[in-house]
Amino acid sequence: MRLAITGSTGLVGSEAVTVLSAAGHEVVRMVRRVPAPGEKAVRWDPVAREIDAAGLEGMDAVVHLAGENVGSGRWTAARKAAIRDSRVNGTHLLCDALAGLARPPKTLVCASATGYYGDRGEEALTEESLPGTGYLAEVCREWEAASDPAARKGIRVVALRIGMVLSPKGGALPRMLPLFRAGLGGVIGSGRQYVSWVALDDLPHIILHALQRGDLSGPVNAVAPRPVTNREFTEALGKVLSRPTPLPVPAFALRLAVGREMADALLLSSARAVPRRLEGTGYRFRFPELGPALRHMLLKGESP
């Protein structure tokens, strides 16, 4: 299979390139610079709304992972606009280009997020669950809707609603580790909020599964089958690191530190998403349980 991928230098994208290439597929990166002679790359610039559509002719599939990191800075109005635009406008640009091709790809696997569901307490969330409310839910709805031109063209579109990606290489986990290793980790807020997570070891294989399963389209929860509460996550990480977790972080302190909206959406909200469609189409998780996943990542003591 010959496929193009956006976001190929990010945490998930770089792992996806490795896994997809190892599986025998030809991977063409979509980059924001002029490709070097002979480089397997296609230029696009979602900010300038420029894309080399001709370079996408004849691709078998496209994997779209590009987007600003939602947790890398305080949510000012400008930051929120950049997060939204990087997802919605970038997806519109790509999908409009794909829809205009003479030989469009058969499949588009596009990132989304479990933020689609908003703050839902203990409710088990499947792909059929209604969207939530709030900024992240609104962004996710627009993000997924931006792929409509590709779907109308007859391209099979899979929207991966990705949970918190766990890896020591990037994302949330490395930011937690210094405090936890110092014995200063603790429950956030009430600790009852659910965390829908997925190991980085699984996510590229989920992408590969979505590419290969022609019967899979629409939203797919890209999360491990055992979501945990924040309290359970805290206890599991402390146990793996052999450190106590005595210091709770009250909600008001988080809101003061990063702002109410960001704290409520990223740290205090609850999303108990389950991967019904992945399991229903035969995907076998390498790390379905949090404890073994953390031990493998941090101690290299477990294999999938």
Assign domain 2-299 to its CATH superfamily: NAD(P)-binding Rossmann-like Domain (3.40.50.720)
CA distance 107 to 150: 9
CA distance 164 to 199: 8
What are the domain boundaries of the chain?
Answer: 2-299
Question: 217-242, pLDDT tens digit by residue?
Answer: 999 999 999 999 999 999 999 999 99
- On average, the pLDDT of the chain sits at 95
Residue 303's pLDDT is what?
38
In this prediction, what percent of the chain has a pLDDT beyond 90?
91
Residue 258's pLDDT is what?
86
Region 102-129: what's the mean pLDDT? 97
Alpha helices in the chain (DSSP H): 11-22, 77-99, 135-145, 148-152, 173-181, 203-212, 230-241, 251-258, 260-263, 276-280, 290-299
Which of 102, 144, 136 lies closest to 120, judged by CA? Answer: 136
CA distances in angstroms from 240 to 176, 223, 294, 296, 299, listed in the order given: 13, 21, 7, 10, 8
What confidence category does residue 73 fall into, taking pLDDT thresholds of 50, 70 and 90? confident
Residue 304's pLDDT is what?
37
Region 85-111: what's the mean pLDDT? 97
Region 33-41: what's the mean pLDDT? 92
